[in-house]
Chain A
Amino acid sequence: MIDNGWDEFEIGAMLRSFDGAVKDIATTLQEDRPYSKNNSFTASVADWRIEKPVFNKDYCIDCQFCWIYCPDISIISRDKKMVGIDYDHCKGCAICVEVCPTNPKSLLMFEEKMDEDEALAGWPEKENKEK
C-alpha cells in the first residue's frame, strides 16, 4: 500500500475497517473479524518495547484488572479467563503488571529478548508482606 500512486486508492480521505460487510461487530471476537489491510489490528508496534510483560498463569485469578486497564487491547481474555498477551500490539507500558493484585504477580516485565520459559523458570516466590 505504501508504494501506491495517486490513482491507486479510493477517493476521499477515508479508510475501511473491514473487507466486505460485517454484522454485530460488537459481539464478534477479533479472530473472527474480516479486518482490512488498513485496520491497525494488522499492524504491529512490537518494536516500541524495551521490556515485555510475561504472563504466568499459575498465579492468575482472572480478576481482569489487566484486561480493563490495558491501553492497547493486548490482554487477551476469552470466556472470562486471561489467556495471554498480544505481543503485536503491546507497547510495554507495564500497567498490567502494576494493577495485577496476586502475590507473586501473574504478570512481570522482562527484557524484550528474554526467553519466555526462562522468565517463567525464574519467577519470584510469594512475597511476605510486612505489617
Chain B
Amino acid sequence: MAEKMELRDIEVWDGNMAASQAMRQVQIDVVAAYPITPSTPIVENYGSFLANGYVDGEFVMVESEHAAMSGCIGASAAGGRVATATSSQGFALMVETLYQASGMRLPVILNVVNRALAAPLNVNGDHSDMYLGRDSGWIQFDAYNPQNAYDLNFIAFRVAEDHEVRLPAMVHQDGFLTSHTAQGVHTLDDDTAYSFVGDFKPMNDMLDLDHPVTHGVQTEEDWHFEHKARQHHDLMTKVFPRIQAAFDAFEKLTGRKYNIVETYNTDDADAVVVCMGTAVETAVEVSNELREEGKKVGVIGIRVIRPWPYDQLLDALKGIKAIGALDRSSPNGTFGMLYNELAGTVVNGDEKKVLTNYVYGLGGRDLLKSQLREIYAELLANAEAGKPTTPLQQLIGVRGPKISFH
C-alpha cells in the first residue's frame, strides 16, 4: 500500500508538479513513460514518488515515446488505470499509437506539455503538438495554469474511464509557461482526490482469465466504417454530458468551476478573442483593462478542444460581432485551426460575424499585452464596420516586414 502524502491546502507547484501529483493521487496501476522536455519533470516527479513509497503501481521506463504509448495500450487492455506524459517530438512519435488507443477504446490519460515541432528544433511552448492530435479520436482538455493542470487530470480520469465513454484523454498545458511556472495550487487530500475519480472499473480486461478477449482486430471495408462511426458518434454525443457532470461534481467538491467553453467579459461584448492555454489569462487581463476604458471586449477560452464544443460556442458567441481566432501553431498553408473550426461553427448562424485569424507565439515567442490591445482595436473596428478591416490572417510578433494573407 502506497504511503499517503501530506499536502498543504495551497502548494507552490508548477504545472508539471501539479500533473504528477494528480497522477500520484489517482493511484495509477501502470505508467509507461519516456522523458522529453518540457514534460520530463512529470516523469521525474513520478519516479521520485515511486522511489519514496508514494506509488505502488508499475513504472516502466521505456525506450521511446512510441513504446510508452504501446506499453500503456497493452497495460490498459490488460485492465487497469494507465497514464503517461509527453511533448512535441515525442508526441509526434506517438501519433500512430494514439489512433490505436482510441480505436481500441482504452482510457489512457496523456499529459501533453505543449511544445513546438521541429524543424527548426525548438524546446519551447506552442500548440503544434496539441493540434497534431486533434483527429486522433482522443478527448482533449486544455489547462491555462498549474491549478487547471491539476484539476483537469481528475476530470480526465473520471470521464475517460466511464464505461459509457471509454475513450483516452489528453490534458494539455503550455510548455514552460505553465509547466515550469510555479504558482499557488489548491490541493485535494489524497483520499478526497482518489474518491473523486473512484476505483478503476475494468472492461474487456485481458487479465480476466475466465473471459478471453481479442483486442485490436482487423476490420476491412465491411466493418471499418461502422467502428469509426461508433467512435465518432460516442465522441459527439456521450462525452460532453459526462464532462459537464464531472465539472459539476468537481465544483461541488472544491468550489472551482470549469466550463466546456470558458467565457470572460462576453455578455455584452462586441469583440472577443478565442484562444487556448496561457494566452487566455493574458487576454483576460487585457480585456479587464479595456473594459475599464469602456471597450466592450471579452475572451473565450476553449477548455475542451475535442470533442469540438459547437453548441457551447454558438451560445457563447451570441451577439458578438467580431471574433479574433488566435492560433499558436503554424497553419502551414491555410488558416489556423481555430479560425477554420470557428468559421464552421458560426457560418450557418443567423448573426453576421466578422472572423479574423491571428497566428502568434510560435516556438515560445511571448504574446504581449500590447499586441492583444492592437488585436482588440482591430476587432472593434471590424465590429463597427461589419466587415474585415484587416487582412484575414496576420502573423503577429514576428520580425521583418508585416506578414499577412487574404
Contact between B214 and A6, CB atoms less than 8 A apart: no
Q: Decide: A16 near B226, CB < 8 A? Known: A7-B233, A11-B105, A11-B234.
A: no
Flag whether B230 is at the interface (Cβ < 8 A).
yes
Q: Is the CB of A17 within 8 A of B212?
A: yes
Q: Is B219's beta carbon under 8 Å from chain A?
A: yes
- Rounded to whole angstroms, the CA-CA distance of A115 and B215 in the bound complex is 42
Interface extent on B, as a size class?
20 to 34
Q: Is the CB of A16 within 8 A of B214?
A: yes
Query: In the complex the two chains form, is B214's CB within 8 Å of A9's CB?
Result: no
Q: Determine if A11 and B216 form an interchain contact, defined as CB atoms under 8 angstroms apart.
A: no
Contact flags (1/0) for A14-25 with B, using CB distance below 8 Å?
111110011101
How far, in angstroms, from A25 to B219 measured CA to CA in the complex?
Answer: 27
In the complex where A4-B226, A5-B226 touch, is A11 in contact with B166 (Cβ < 8 A)? Answer: yes
A11 to B227, CA, bound (A): 8
Cross-chain contact B217 with A15 (CB below 8 angstroms): yes
Say yes or no for B374: interface residue by CB 8 A criterion.
Answer: no
Q: Are B214 and A17 in contact (CB-based, < 8 A)?
A: yes
Give A19-54 interface residues, CB cut-off 8 Å to B. 21-23, 25
Establish whether residues B214 and A15, one from each chain, have CB atoms under 8 Å apart when the complex forms.
Answer: yes
Decide if B402 is an interface residue (CB 8 Å cutoff).
Answer: no
Question: Are B226 and A6 in contact, CB atoms less than 8 angstroms apart?
Answer: yes
Is A13 on the interface with B (CB-CB < 8 A)?
A: yes
Instruction: Given A2-B222, A11-B105, A11-B166, check contact A16 B212 (CB 8 Å).
Output: yes
A12 within 8 A of B: yes
Given A6-B233, A23-B210, residue A12 in contact with residue B166 (CB < 8 A): yes
What is the minimal beta-carbon distance from A29 to any residue of chain B, in angstroms?
16
Nearest opposing residue in chain B for A11, CB measure: B105
A11 and B214 within 8 A (CB):
no
Interchain CA distance A12-B233 in the complex, whole Å: 13
Within 8 Å by CB of B210, from A7, A13, A21, lies: A21
Contact in complex: B213, A17 (CB < 8 Å)? yes
- B192-251 residues with Cβ-Cβ distance < 8 A to A are 204, 210-217, 219, 222, 225-227, 229-231, 233-234
Would B222 and A15 count as touching, CB distance under 8 A? no
> Is B363 among interface residues, defined by CB-CB distance under 8 A?
no
**Bound CA–CA A78/B78 (angstroms):** 34
Return B194 CB to nearest CB of chain A, in Å. 26
B216 cross-chain contacts in A, Cβ below 8 A: 13-14
Tell me the chain B residues, 27-78 only, with Cβ under 8 Å from chain A.
none
A9-B210 Cα distance, complex, nearest whole Å:
21
Contact A14–B222 (Cβ < 8 Å): no
A18–B213 CA distance with the chains assembled, in angstroms: 8
Contact B230 A16 (CB under 8 A): no
Any chain A CB within 8 A of the CB of B271?
no
Q: How far is it, in angstroms, between the C-alpha of A23 and the C-alpha of B219 when the chains are bound?
A: 29
Asked if B103 lies at the interface with its beta carbon under 8 angstroms from chain A, I say yes
Decide: B105 and A12 in contact? CB cutoff 8 A: yes
Please give, as numbers and ranges, the residues of chain B lying within 8 Å of A9 by CB-CB distance: 226, 230
- Cβ-defined partner of A6 (8 Å) among B103, B104, B229: B229
Bound complex: CA A16 to CA B217 (Å):
11
Within 8 A of B (CB), among A64-89: none
Q: Are A25 and B212 in contact (CB under 8 A)?
A: yes
Q: Who on chain A is nearest to B230 by CB?
A: A6
Residues of B close to A25: CB separation below 8 A? 212
Residue of A nearest to B214 (CB): A15
Task: Name the interface residues of B128-178: CB closer than 8 Å to any CB of A.
Answer: 166
User: Closest Cβ of chain A: how far from B114's Cβ, in Å?
Assistant: 29
Q: Which of B256-312 contact A (CB under 8 A)?
A: none
* Docked-complex contact B212 and A22, CB < 8 angstroms: yes
| Inter-chain contact A7/B230, CB cutoff 8 Å | yes
A5 to B226, CA, bound (A): 7
Nearest opposing residue in chain A for B227, CB measure: A13
Which chain B residues border A6 with CB–CB below 8 Å? 225-227, 229-230, 233
Docked Cα-Cα span, A95 to B211, in Å, equals 34
How distant is the Cα of A16 from the Cα of B219 in the complex, in angstroms? Answer: 15
* Besides A11-B166, A13-B217, 17 new A-B residue pairs in contact (Cβ under 8 A), listed by A number: A4-B226, A6-B230, A7-B230, A9-B230, A11-B105, A12-B106, A12-B215, A13-B104, A13-B216, A14-B104, A14-B213, A14-B214, A15-B217, A18-B212, A21-B210, A21-B211, A22-B212
B-side interface residues toward A, CB under 8 Å? Answer: 103-106, 166, 204, 210-217, 219, 222, 225-227, 229-231, 233-234
27 example contacts (A-B, Cβ-Cβ < 8 A) are as follows A2-B222, A5-B226, A6-B226, A6-B229, A6-B233, A7-B233, A9-B226, A11-B166, A11-B231, A12-B166, A12-B204, A13-B103, A13-B215, A13-B219, A13-B227, A14-B104, A14-B204, A14-B214, A14-B216, A16-B212, A16-B213, A17-B214, A21-B210, A21-B211, A22-B212, A23-B210, A25-B212
Which are the 3 A-B pairs with shortest beta-carbon distances? A12-B105, A6-B229, A6-B226
